[in-house]
Structure formats: C-alpha cells, structure tokens
Amino acid sequence: MSKMLLSRIRSDPKVERVDTDDPCGPIVTLKKGWSFDSLQDNRVLGEDTPARLLHSVRHMAKPYAGPYDD
C-alpha cells in the first residue's frame, strides 16, 4: 500500500483512524460529527486501494449532527 496516501488519509481532520490489516484493503473510521451517509451514523468505510479511500474521505464524508448509534 502507498504509505504516502495512507499518511494523507490519516492527516485528514475528519479521520479518527485507518486500519490497514484487512487483506481486502484499508478501512477508515471517521470522527464523530462526520458520516458517509447523510441520513445515518455511518463512520466506517473500506476500499480496495488507498487512492479510492482518500477519494471517498474527501468527497463522500459529510458533516453529521446525529442521532448517533453509540
């Protein structure tokens, strides 16, 4: 995996953590207040490449005011 792209994902202020242990590809968890779905609390997303994950974080993550699942 591209260490540079993973570093850029981790440095995004919306990102809580990035998991690279999954053999299918990296998984990101967004911080509370962000979601990949504007209608529900969906803060986790996996993609098959770091480039696709970076694109998803930048273009799909939107502010989310709740309600929260946890």
Q: 4-63, pLDDT tens digit by residue?
A: 999 999 999 999 999 999 899 999 999 999 999 989 999 999 999 999 999 999 999 999
Within 10 angstroms of residue 60's Cβ, the number of other Cβ atoms is 14
Beta bridge partners of 46: 27
Q: What's the pTM?
A: 0.90
Helix (H, G, I), strand (E, B) or coil at 24: coil
Round to whole Å and give the CA distance between 45 and 35. Answer: 10
